[in-house]
Amino acid sequence: SSGINAEYGVRRNAIVVLVRRYGLESTIFLKAVESQVDFVYEEDKCKLTVGRVTLQMFDRVIVQISVEDCNIQHKKLRMKLLNPIITVVSVEPIYVTMGNKD
């Protein structure tokens, strides 16, 4: 897999992802999911169930990290969920090959 191991917390409409290895934190919002799959948040248990996937605080996930550079002065890091697979949220991994600059 080309993803990075990360831990996460849950919110009512998002997964908060922490990549300790790099000191990165990001939020993956699930708003698009709400209308397309069953979506249950249990605040007292810090548990989020999306379809058949149940996410709890400090479980491990695999994310893809990329740089969004549509504006060269304001580059942003983007995290996308690879695993667990959640309909509408998870993405297919992107494999990038770095070539030699001669």
**Of 10-14, 27-31, 62-66, 98-102, which gets the smallest average pLDDT?**
98-102
Decide if 96 contacts 43 (C-beta within 8 A): no
Give CA separation, 92 vs 14, 22, 26, 37, 73, in Å: 19, 22, 19, 19, 28
Question: Confidence band (pLDDT; 50, 70, 90) for 102?
Answer: very low
Q: Does residue 44 register a pLDDT over 60? A: yes
Mean per-residue pLDDT for 50-61? 84
Phi-psi region at 20: left, alpha or beta (left = phi > 0; alpha = psi -120 to 50): alpha
Residue 25: which residues within 8 A CB-CB, separation 6 or more? 16, 17, 18, 19
What is the reported pTM?
0.69
